[in-house]
């Protein structure tokens, strides 16, 4: 059993961004680059981190990722975020990626990854994450 095994058929977390890969996002074989997907995940996690910390952040770590199934050009790609932990200045955010192919009836999971952000000020120094309600 790996960290990517998931018996839940639906995404975990809130939908943060939804994008559609274009032909320019593929390698010469027509497959979507993993790096393109990691970029979308980083954007989604950074969007959440900005909301949570109410300001600027830096990505300090990304956990290991495995890719379960390929991404097709023209499919819908959703990045779902879940706040896992808040430290003094850090935030751990899990991002799940699910895709819906143009002809498919149900979405399928592509990958997930844990992203760690640190709240920083305008000088790049760490700052405290404001207390979270609830
Ligand atoms: C983000 C940065 C300012 C943090 O500085 P730092 O000296 O590592 O700060 P600290 O050691 O005080 O750690 C700050 C927090 O990050 C956490 N942290 C640091 N490195 C971590 C890592 N590799 N994994 C998980 N958490 C980490 C610490 O546990 C601490 O959390 P807490 O405040 O909630 O307890 C600095 O590492 C940095 O500028 N890194 C480059 C970031 C960047 O450019 N990212 C984009 C790359 S393209």
Span 10-37, pLDDT tens digits: 999 999 999 999 999 998 888 899 999 9
Query: For a substitution probing ligand 1, which of 60, 92, 94 has the most ligand atoms within 8 Å of its CB?
Result: 60
23 is a domain residue: yes
129 is a domain residue: no
The sign of the torsion formed by the CA atoms of 16, 20, 24, 30 equals positive
**What is the strand order of the sheet 108-119 is part of?**
14-19, 76-86, 90-100, 108-119, 57-62
Q: Which CATH number characterizes residue 53's domain?
A: 3.10.129.10
75 is a domain residue: yes
35 is a domain residue: yes
Query: For a substitution probing ligand 1, which of 42, 85, 93, 118 has the most ligand atoms within 8 Å of its CB?
Result: 118
Domain count, the chain: 1
Span 97-127, pLDDT tens digits: 999 988 888 899 999 999 999 999 999 999 9
113 is a domain residue: yes
pTM: 0.92
Task: Name the residue range of residue 58's domain.
Answer: 14-94+102-119
């Amino acid at each position: 059993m790996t960290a990517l095994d998931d018996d839940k058929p639906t995404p975990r977390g809130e939908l943060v961004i939804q994008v559609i890969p274009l032909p320019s996002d593929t390698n010469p074989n027509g497959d979507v680059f993993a790096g393109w997907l990691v970029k979308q995940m980083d954007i989604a996690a950074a969007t959440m981190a900005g909301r949570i910390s109410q300001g600027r952040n830096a990505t300090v770590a990304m956990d290991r990722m495995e890719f379960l199934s390929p991404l097709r050009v023209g499919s819908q790609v959703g990045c779902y975020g879940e706040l896992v932990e808040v430290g003094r200045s850090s935030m751990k955010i899990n991002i799940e990626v699910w895709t819906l192919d143009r002809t498919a009836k149900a979405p399928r999971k592509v990958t997930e990854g844990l992203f760690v952000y640190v709240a920083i000020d305008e000088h790049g120094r760490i700052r405290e994450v404001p207390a979270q309600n609830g």
